[in-house]
A and B are shown apart, each in its own frame.
Chain A
Amino acid sequence: ETGVTQTPRHLVMGMTNKKSLKCEQHLGHNAMYWYKQSAKKPLELMFVYSLEERVENNSVPSRFSPECPNSSHLFLHLHTLQPEDSALYLCASSQDDSWYFGPGTRLLVL
């Protein structure tokens, strides 16, 4: 099993709900990422944090809000999502060439 954990593993939410995804790594990595994986599309980078500072935001809608309180934890806060936001959300951590991915949160927006 990988050194990156994600909770919850599955989430169903309405468009007016607010929820948060959590990611945790204890590998000592200094960078963490959120990727979105939709059917028939490549993994799409959403956010990158390096040393707890956000260094990249790939023009993600403001209904997704990341938070990195420390080097081991990463959150993705969700509010007023759309059905097209339904996807698998993967968290990853890296240090140099070592990459680990979490199992993902399968999100369904109704």
Chain B
Amino acid sequence: KQEVTQIPAALSVPEGENLVLNCSFTDSAIYNLQWFRQDPGKGLTSLLLIQSSQREQTSGRLNASLDKSSGRSTLYIAASQPGDSATYLCAVRENSGNTPLVFGKGTRLSVIA
């Protein structure tokens, strides 16, 4: 059974710092991996999607990498801002089609002004 682990569970940094969030998964036979953001009391918003054949994806100040063989992904946030404060969730999908996402518990990020 696929399990997704995210480290750290919580992180507090001063504004302007670069930071890395980690995600690992137990079964490397994934179809793709996705990073989401969740603000308090709200649903999830997709940030970056990496297909199993890709090594990284970038969007603005966000960069996600994938090392499928070792079962790891990182989300790098450059020049963090208070508006980045949220919970970041990593999810993997094991097949194409309508296969559901398997989630980690998330990393709660606080960026202090």
A residues in contact (CB < 8 Å) with B: 2, 4, 6, 30-31, 33, 40-43, 45, 48, 50, 55-56, 90, 92, 94, 96-97, 99-104, 106
Contact = CB atoms under 8 A, between A and B. Distances in A.
B98 A50 contact: yes
A2 B43 CA distance: 8
B83 interface: no
Contact of A97 (B36, B42, B49, B89): B49
B100 A45 contact: yes
A42 B100 contact: no
Contacts of A55: 98
Nearest to A96: B96
Interface residues of B, number: 24
Interface of B: 4, 32, 34, 36, 41-46, 49, 51, 89, 91, 96-98, 100-106
Nearest to B96: A96
Instruction: Indicate the member of B4, B34, B44, B106 with the most A CB atoms within 10 Å.
Output: B44
B53 to A, nearest CB: 13
Given A2-B43, A42-B103, 14 more contacts: A4-B43, A6-B43, A30-B98, A31-B98, A33-B100, A42-B104, A45-B100, A90-B44, A99-B34, A101-B43, A101-B44, A103-B43, A104-B41, A104-B42
A102 B43 CA distance: 5
B38 to A, nearest CB: 8
11 contacts: A41-B105, A42-B103, A42-B104, A50-B98, A55-B98, A56-B100, A90-B43, A96-B96, A97-B49, A104-B41, A106-B41
A4 B44 CA distance: 11
